[in-house]
Chains A and B, each alone.
Chain A
Amino acid sequence: GAVVSQHPSWVICKSGTSVKIECRSLDFQATTMFWYRQFPKQSLMLMATSNEGSKATYEQGVEKDKFLINHASLTLSTLTVTSAHPEDSSFYICSARDLDEGYTFGSGTRLTVV
C-alpha cells in the first residue's frame, strides 16, 4: 500500500531557531500533500495544502511566513517552522493522497521548543 515517510519523528530545538520537517511519498507520486497540526487530545487541524511546483495554500489563521512549505518534487514536501517559539510546540503530521487508497499519513513529528 501507499506509504508516506515523515522525518524526523521528534525534535527539540531552542527558541528562535528554525526546524525543517520532511514528508515523502515512497511508492507513489503525490501532486498534493497536506500539513496538519494536532494539539494534545484534540483532532487534526489542517494548516496548509502543498501543491507540487506552486505555492502552498494556507488555511485561515495560519501564518505563511512562520510555516514555510516547499513542494519541489512529486514525492517530497517540507514544512519549515521558522523562528520557533514554545507555543509552536505541537505534533505535526503530513498526508498525501493516493487515488486508489485515499489518504495516507506520515507518522508525525513531535516538535518541542525550549
Chain B
Amino acid sequence: KQEVTQIPAALSVPEGENLVLNCSFTDSAIYNLQWFRQDPGKGLTSLLLIQSSQREQTSGRLNASLDKSSGRSTLYIAASQPGDSATYLCAVNTDSWGKLQFGAGTQVVVTP
C-alpha cells in the first residue's frame, strides 16, 4: 500500500528565506506526483505536476524535483513571501483510475 509522508509537518521562516519541503512515498511505481497549496478553509490549488518520466518542473519561484527510485520529491520555494503562508500537500497517483494518495501536508508560515 502506498504511503506518502511529508516532513516537516510545520515550518516557520522569515521573509526572503528559501523554503524546502520534502515528500516521500513508499511505492516507486507512480504515474505522476503533484504539489498543491491549500489556504485555510479553501480548496486545493495545483502548483506543479511532475510526470513519472520527468525529473523536475519549474514555475516562477517554485521548483519541484522527483526521484522515483528513492521515492522522494522536493518542493523549493525561492525568496519566500508572507503570501506563501499556507499548507502544502503532495500527492502521488499510483492507480490507473487516477486516485491520488495525499501526504498530511506541511504548514508553512512566512513572517514579515
Contact = CB atoms under 8 A, between A and B. Distances in A.
B46 A102 contact: yes
Contacts of B105: 43
B32 to A, nearest CB: 7
B25 interface: no
Contacts of A93: 43-44
Interface string B38-58: 000111111001000000000
B73 to A, nearest CB: 14
> Which of A6, A46, A102 has the most C-beta atoms of chain B within 10 angstroms of its own C-beta?
A102
A34 B46 CA distance: 15
Label chain B's interface by main secondary structure: strand
Contacts of B104: 42-43
A34 B91 CA distance: 14
A87 interface: no
Contact of B32 (A49, A95, A102, A105): A102
Interface in B51-79: none
Interface residues of B, number: 20
A32 B97 contact: yes
A6 B46 CA distance: 16
Given A43-B89, A43-B105, A103 B43 contact: no
Interface residues of A, number: 22
B46 A105 contact: yes
A6 B49 contact: no
B100 A46 contact: yes
A54 B42 CA distance: 29
18 contacts: A6-B43, A32-B97, A34-B100, A43-B89, A43-B102, A44-B100, A44-B102, A46-B100, A93-B43, A93-B44, A102-B32, A102-B49, A103-B46, A105-B45, A105-B46, A106-B43, A107-B42, A108-B41
Nearest first, the 9 A-B pairs at minimum CB distance are A102-B49, A105-B44, A107-B43, A108-B43, A43-B102, A43-B104, A105-B43, A97-B98, A44-B102
Interface of A: 6, 32, 34, 42-44, 46, 49, 57, 91, 93, 95, 97, 101-108, 110
